[in-house]
Amino acid sequence: MKQPFSNRLAGESSPYLLQHAHNPVDWYPWGTEALERARQEDKPILVSIGYAACHWCHVMERESFEDEATARIMNEHFINIKIDREERPDLDHIYMDAVQAMTGSGGWPLNVFLTPDTRPFYGGTYFPPKRAHNRPSWQETLYGVIQAFRERRHEIDAQAENLTGHLKMSNSFGMQAPDETNQLFSEQKVKDCFVQLMKTADRQWGGFGKAPKFPQTFSIRFLLRYHYFTGDGEALTQALLSLEKMAAGGIYDQVGGGFARYSTDTEWLAPHFEKMLYDNALLVSAFSEACQLTGQEWQLDVIEETMAFVQRELMHPAGGFYSALDADSEGVEGKFYTWSLEEIEKLLGAEASLFSDFYDIKPGGNWEHTNILWVKKPTGEFAAERKTDPARLKELLKQGRSRLLEARNKRVRPQLDDKIILGWNALMNTAISNAFEASGQPAYLQLAVRNMEFLLTAFAGAGGRYHHTWKNGKARYPAFLDDLAFLIQALLKLQEITGDPDWLEKAREICRQVVDDFSGEGTPFFFYTPEGQEDVIVRKQEVYDGALPSGNAVMAANLYQVGILLDVKDWVERSREMVLRLGNAITRYPGSFGVWAMLLQEQVKGTNEIVLAGDNLLPTRADILKRYIPNKVFLSPEKQVTGIPLLDQKKGLGRPTIYLCRNNTCLAPVFSADELISLINRGQKQ
- Provide the pairing of β-strand 519-520 with 262-263: unpaired
| Bridge partners, residue 27, by sequence | 80
604 CB-contact burial (10 Å; exposed 0-12 / middle 13-18 / buried 19+): middle
**Cα-flanking dihedrals φ and ψ of residue 218, to 5°?**
-65, -40
> 215 near 591, Cβ under 8 Å?
no
pLDDT for position 682: 87
pLDDT for position 685: 57
Rg of the chain over all Cα atoms, to the nearest angstrom: 26
Expressed in percent and rounded to 5, the helix, strand and coil fractions of the chain are: 50, 15, 35
Q: Enumerate the CATH 3.40.30.10 domain ranges in the chain, comma separated.
A: 8-170, 608-685
Give the relative orientation of helices 277-294 and 297-313 as an angle to the nearest 10 degrees: 160
pLDDT band at 169 (very low <50, low <70, confident <90, very high): confident
Give me the mean pLDDT over the 236-246 stretch: 98
> 486 near 277, Cβ under 8 Å?
no
Contacts 24+ apart (CB under 8 A), 448-457: 448/494, 448/497, 449/494, 449/498, 450/319, 451/319, 451/320, 451/321, 451/425, 452/490, 452/491, 452/494, 452/503, 453/319, 454/318, 454/319, 454/320, 455/320, 455/422, 455/425, 455/426, 455/429, 455/487, 456/506
Phi-psi region of 206 (alpha: psi -120 to 50; beta: other; left: phi over 0): left
Q: Enumerate the CATH 1.50.10.10 domain ranges in the chain, comma separated.
A: 187-330+417-605
Q: How many CB atoms lie within 10 A of CB 418?
A: 17
Distance CA 174, CA 520 (A): 10
3 has pLDDT over 90:
no
pLDDT band at 4 (very low <50, low <70, confident <90, very high): confident
Q: Kindly report, residue by residue over 149-165, the tens digit of the pLDDT.
A: 999 999 999 999 999 99
**Element (DSSP H or E) covering residue 57:** helix 55-60
- Provide the pairing of β-strand 79-84 with 27-29: parallel
Distance CA 459, CA 454 (A): 8
pLDDT band at 533 (very low <50, low <70, confident <90, very high): confident
pLDDT for position 265: 96
SS3 per residue for 284-301: HHHHHHHHHHHCCHHHHH
pLDDT for position 177: 61
| Bridge partners, residue 47, by sequence | 81, 112
Strand order across the 324-325 sheet: 275-276, 324-325, 416-417
Give me the mean pLDDT over the 56-62 stretch: 93
pLDDT for position 634: 98
297 CB-contact burial (10 Å; exposed 0-12 / middle 13-18 / buried 19+): exposed
pLDDT band at 54 (very low <50, low <70, confident <90, very high): confident
Instruction: Name the CATH topology of 608-685.
Output: Glutaredoxin (3.40.30)
144 has pLDDT over 60:
yes
Distance CA 351, CA 361 (A): 13
Distance CA 69, CA 299 (A): 53
Q: Kindly report, residue by residue over 592-629, the tens digit of the pLDDT.
A: 999 999 999 999 999 999 999 999 999 999 999 999 99
Average pLDDT value for the chain? 94
What is the amino acid identity at position 227?
H
Q: How many helices (H) and strands (E) does the chain have?
A: 26, 21
> 579 near 184, Cβ under 8 Å?
yes
Distance CA 205, CA 267 (A): 6
350 CB-contact burial (10 Å; exposed 0-12 / middle 13-18 / buried 19+): exposed
Q: Kindly report, residue by residue over 384-433, the tens digit of the pLDDT.
A: 999 999 999 999 999 999 999 999 999 999 999 999 999 999 999 999 99
Q: How many CB atoms lie within 10 A of CB 349?
A: 10
Q: Distance of CA 370 to CAs 340, 342, 358, 675, Å?
A: 6, 11, 16, 54
Residue 489: how many CA atoms within 13 Å on its side-chain side? 30
SS3 166: helix
Q: Kindly report, residue by residue over 429-482, the tens digit of the pLDDT.
A: 999 999 999 999 999 999 999 999 999 999 999 888 999 999 999 999 999 999
Give me the mean pLDDT over the 186-202 stretch: 97
Q: How does DSSP classify residue 405?
A: H
614 CB-near residues (< 8 Å, 6+ apart): 651, 652, 653, 654, 655, 656, 657
Distance CA 553, CA 578 (A): 8
Torsion of CA 656, 661, 665, 667, to 10 degrees: -40
The CA angle 188-193-194, to the nearest 5 degrees, is 95
| Bridge partners, residue 271, by sequence | 263
> 538 near 160, Cβ under 8 Å?
no
Distance CA 618, CA 47 (A): 54
pLDDT for position 269: 97
571 has pLDDT over 80:
yes
Phi-psi region of 182 (alpha: psi -120 to 50; beta: other; left: phi over 0): beta
> 268 near 248, Cβ under 8 Å?
yes
Residue 493: how many CA atoms within 13 Å on its side-chain side? 27
CATH homologous superfamily for the domain 8-170: Glutaredoxin (3.40.30.10)
Q: How does DSSP classify residue 465?
A: -
Q: Distance of CA 23 to CAs 9, 20, 82, 111, Å?
A: 10, 5, 11, 16
pLDDT band at 295 (very low <50, low <70, confident <90, very high): very high
> 296 near 288, Cβ under 8 Å?
no
Instruction: Name the CATH topology of 187-330+417-605.
Output: Glycosyltransferase (1.50.10)
